[in-house]
Amino acid sequence: AVEAYTILPEDTDPLDKQRRRYAALKAARDRALVFVLAYTAVRVGELLRDPNDPRRRGVRWEDISLDDGSMDVYRKKQQWDAASLPDPVISPLRSYRQLMDPPTERWPVFPTFDQRTLAELVRENLAERGERPEAIIERRAEYARDLLLALDEDIRPPSITTDGTRSILQRLSEAAEIDIDHPKHDYLAPHGGRRGMGEVLVRAFGYTVAARYLDNSEEMVRERYSHIEAGELGDVATEALEEIDSVPQ
């Protein structure tokens, strides 16, 4: 979708060009979201909007430093803290930001694309700016999607919610034809990235480093990933038995 948009001929119909841009933005947003969930180990409630908690309004561009590789999030422990953005995350975020070109740093990194929400938001904001109903209808007709009008007029949409993220991941899992054998869900759920990064870090660097990256206590990480230590101890026991068995009787 991104490539199709970037190679459009100059004489492309304006509305068709807008449709292609919208498709590219949606694809780039979804791609960046997956990379962030897969590699940062940030809890989905720390990254996106929680309708029941006004403090969790979703990460904004002002919270992210692509140069430093960090992102400020409102942690589970009820305070703002920096989370790491490893190298695999930087390129998708940078490309996505360039394509979106948010009008201000206060724009959410992962805005909702829900058409009903955006339509209501655009109508309300233009009316508050003194636009007459007829003028608002004409203005919206100039755009293939209200999101594009919101970008041009700096009408800041809300971030997607945690439930919205699950819907996105379900759609992406179905499109990729990924079969998930899990008792509670049939798609790649948001917490899977966090569990996966925990597994990688424990095996590569141990429980202390993994606990710092996951923003958890070492005790909790040891409990959650106890199967790794059990497997390692099993290997040690096997090696010891082999050494004993190799001793001449």
Task: Estimate to the nearest angstrom the gap between the alpha carbon of 72 and the chain centroid.
Answer: 14
What are the angstrom distances between the C-alpha of 46 and each of 60, 157, 162? Answer: 12, 18, 9
Instruction: Work out the pLDDT band at 55, boundaries 50, 70, 90.
Output: confident
- 223 in a domain, yes or no? yes
Residues 24 and 55 in one domain: yes
Residues 173 and 83 in one domain: yes
190, 169 in Cβ contact below 8 A? yes
* Cα-Cα-Cα-Cα dihedral sign, residues 75, 81, 86, 88: positive
Residues 92 and 201 in one domain: no
pLDDT tens sequence across 134-164: 999 999 999 999 999 999 999 999 999 999 9
**What would the mean pLDDT of 55-82 be, rounded to a whole number?**
92
- Cβ neighbours, 10 Å, residue 18: 19
Residues 124 and 144 in one domain: yes
Output the pLDDT for position 247.
Answer: 60
Residues 146 and 171 in one domain: no
- 38 in a domain, yes or no? yes
Distance CA 52, CA 153 (A): 28
| Total count of domains within the chain | 3
pLDDT over 90 at 78, yes or no: no
Instruction: Work out the pLDDT band at 227, boundaries 50, 70, 90.
Output: confident
Residues 117 and 140 in one domain: yes
Q: Bridge-partner residues for 80, per DSSP?
A: 74
Distance CA 107, CA 101 (A): 10
**What would the mean pLDDT of 106-134 be, rounded to a whole number?**
96
Instruction: Work out the pLDDT band at 25, boundaries 50, 70, 90.
Output: very high
pLDDT over 80 at 232, yes or no: no
- 98 in a domain, yes or no? yes
HSE (side-chain half, CA atoms, 13 Å) at 117: 12
**What would the mean pLDDT of 121-144 be, rounded to a whole number?**
96
Residues 131 and 240 in one domain: no
Output the pLDDT for position 238.
Answer: 64
- 183 in a domain, yes or no? no
Cα angle, residue 225 at apex, residues 222 and 227 outer, rounded to 5° = 115
Output the pLDDT for position 52.
Answer: 87
**Burial letters for 45-81: b for 16+ Cβ neighbours within 10 Å, e otherwise?**
bbbbbbeeeeebebbbbebbeeeeeebbbbbeeeeee
- 167 in a domain, yes or no? yes
Instruction: Work out the pLDDT band at 182, boundaries 50, 70, 90.
Output: confident
Phi, psi of 246 (to 5 degrees): -80, -10
- 34 in a domain, yes or no? yes
Residues 198 and 219 in one domain: yes
Q: Which domain holds residue 148?
A: 113-157
| Least confident interval from 40-44, 45-49, 184-188, 233-237 | 233-237
Assigned token pair, 14: 């304006």
**What would the mean pLDDT of 87-95 be, rounded to a whole number?**
96
pLDDT over 90 at 35, yes or no: yes
Output the pLDDT for position 21.
Answer: 95
As a whole number, the mean pLDDT across the chain is 90
- 201 in a domain, yes or no? yes
Residues 71 and 142 in one domain: no
What one-character-per-residue DSSP string does 175-238 give? HTT-----SS-SS--THHHHHHHHHHHHHHH-HHHHHHHHTS-HHHHHHHTHHHHHHHHHHHHH
Instruction: Work out the pLDDT band at 235, boundaries 50, 70, 90.
Output: low
Residues 77 and 174 in one domain: yes
What are the angstrom distances between the C-alpha of 2 and each of 172, 176, 191, 246? Answer: 16, 18, 27, 61
Residues 33 and 121 in one domain: no
Torsion of CA 129, 135, 141, 142, to 10 degrees: -70
**What would the mean pLDDT of 204-233 be, rounded to a whole number?**
85
Residues 38 and 99 in one domain: yes
Output the pLDDT for position 91.
Answer: 96
| Least confident interval from 98-102, 106-110, 202-206, 224-228 | 224-228
